[in-house]
Amino acid sequence: MIQIQQIPVLQDNYIYLIHETESGETAVVDPAESESVLTQLERNQWSLKFILNTHHHSDHVGGNQQLKATTRCEIFGAVHDAQRIPEIDSPLKHNDTLYLGDYAIQVIECFGHTLGHIAFYIPEAKALFCGDTLFSMGCGRLFEGSADQMWHSLQQFMQLPESTLVYCAHEYSLANARFALSVEPNNPQLQKTYLKIQTLRKQQKATVPTTLKQECLTNPFLRVNSPEIRKILNMPNSSELAVFTELRHRKDSF
């Protein structure tokens, strides 16, 4: 069985511990820093087998060196980021598979936010660890890649089962919902979700993981064929990529 624990760190980051109960093996996704991870590992009496880095940004790899020095874990990251991820041991490419106990973890290249971004998908656990590519009602900024690359990445995610749990790396839901409502104000599911996350954040509770089904109903970056979005953007007959690109441009300055 897979257990997943969420560790909030820094201003709005989430680190994820993934523990496979039968083998006792544990992985950590995007350790922004090490102390909170080591504390949680000790509390659970878990030993760390490997680190999974989705991309090279410091708020995703900041804990790599200390965790490796302390636990002697192995570090996995994208082959494209092999020179940018501290202490990387095993570069990964699209469709590679690694194992936590008997559970397969599939690698999905999802460029756009960076040119070396990958996601980790565990089919049996219906869990997607997508770093900064997909957020609740949002997607990552295009720091290195193109809109075309990001749109392709999101399309890959949309092919996964709708029950997939989406473990985003940041707590951006409230701001993302406000933008989503600006381009699709009459979406009833979005209105309902906005009220829910307002309540959760007032209670200082996490709004993620979300589900792929929920994102397809509320996330404007996955809803480029929404008639209302196209009307508000004045792009009724534009391509999906053109609508996505305009949405990303508007979100950048929202």
Q: What is the mean pLDDT of the chain?
A: 97
Element (H, E) at 167: strand 165-168
Report pLDDT for 7.
Answer: 98
Report pLDDT for 249.
Answer: 97
Strands 127-131 and 165-168: parallel
Confidence of residue 17 (pLDDT cuts 50, 70, 90): very high
Q: What's the mean pLDDT in 140-161?
A: 98
CA triple 237-243-247, angle to 5 deg? 145
pLDDT above 70: percentage of residues in the chain: 100
- Reference 150, options 113, 118, 95; nearest CA is 113
Report pLDDT for 22.
Answer: 95
Confidence of residue 159 (pLDDT cuts 50, 70, 90): very high
Confidence of residue 74 (pLDDT cuts 50, 70, 90): very high
Copy the structure tokens of residue 49: 């087998």
Taking each helix axis as running N to C, give the angle between helix 35-44 and helix 64-71, from 0 to 180 degrees, rounded to the nearest 10.
Answer: 40
DSSP state of 119: E
Q: What's the mean pLDDT in 49-63?
A: 97
Q: Edge-to-edge, what's the strand order for the sheet holding 2-9?
A: 2-9, 13-20, 25-29, 47-52, 74-78, 90-92
Q: Distance between CA 78 and CA 61 in Å, rounded?
A: 12
Report pLDDT for 210.
Answer: 98
Q: What's the mean pLDDT in 82-111?
A: 96
Q: List domains and CATH numbers for the chain.
A: 2-168 (3.60.15.10), 173-252 (no CATH)
Confidence of residue 131 (pLDDT cuts 50, 70, 90): very high
